[in-house]
Amino acid sequence: MNHLICSIHQPNFFPWIGYFLKISQSDIFIILDDVQTQKTAGSYANRVSIISSARHKWLVAPIKRKSGVWNISDTQYHDSIPWRNQILGLIENSYRKAPFFKEFFPFLKNLILFPSNSLVEFNLNSLKAIMEYLSMPYEDKIIISSSLNIQTQATQRLIDLTKSVNAQTYLCGNGSDGYLEKNMFKQQNIQLKFMNIEPIHYPQLNLNEFVPGQSIIDVLMNFSRENTIRYIKEEEIK
């Protein structure tokens, strides 16, 4: 039997390149949609950082807030088109002079205008499209957690999700150290593996000093599709 590596993450909004590296280094990537939506402020499910006018700026897709608690799977973006046009305008103003703007912007525009208000459906559509753009296969790799019907919580939930797809290793980021109960993985015969991402540095428009952690949009505007594909494949081999 093949030794399968699983990773788990919420459906992020045009995430940073580390998100794509995590997918590339996993055999199965579970989109965690059956957990509660953050009720106040923003999260990476509906916002991401880009560079605009030589400084960090948030791209935000507004969500419909309601009383009580609800899951990510039930979260909706606002119906109106203005937020999509505002995001497109900000991206165009920020990157029109970037070296790969003309190549990437028409593709990106179609993703932002994707006619769905479901946060999961919208984010999953853009994720799969960008993966295809980067020559990353997603068939049989991307699984939605709500389809697995796991009811446990916290670390046990991650373990049960990993087991449910017959994986033997759980891949997580270094930031997980603070909340994972690592001994539980060992007790239940799941290997725990932490990602070590080699920081990618590329020329950013109008910046002398590199600012990491930006959206994949920033990478593809400045670094090109070909260079990004090469970087991801090199990180896979390490």
SS (H, E, C) the chain: CCCCEEEEECCCCCCEHHHHHHHHCCCEEEECCCCECCCCCCCCCCEEEEEECCEEEEEECCECCCCCCCEHHHCEECCCCHHHHHHHHHHHHHHCCCCCHHHHHHHHHHHHCCCCCEHHHHHHHHHHHHHHHCCCCCCCCEEEHHHCCCCCCHHHHHHHHHHHCCCCEEEECHHHHHCCCHHHHHHCCCEEEECCCCCCCCCCCCCCCCCCCCEHHHHHHHCCHHHHHHHHHHHHHC
Name the token pair of 198. 């080699």
Question: What pLDDT does residue 238 have?
Answer: 66
Question: What pLDDT does residue 61 have?
Answer: 94
| Number of domains the chain contains | 1
Question: What pLDDT does residue 1 have?
Answer: 52
Give the H/E segment covering residue 55.
Answer: strand 55-60
Evaluate whether 120 touches 31 at the Cβ level (below 8 Å).
yes
- Which regions in the chain score pLDDT beneath 50? none
**Any bridge partners for residue 28, and if so which?**
6
pTM of whole model > 0.85? yes
Domain coverage including residue 192: 5-237
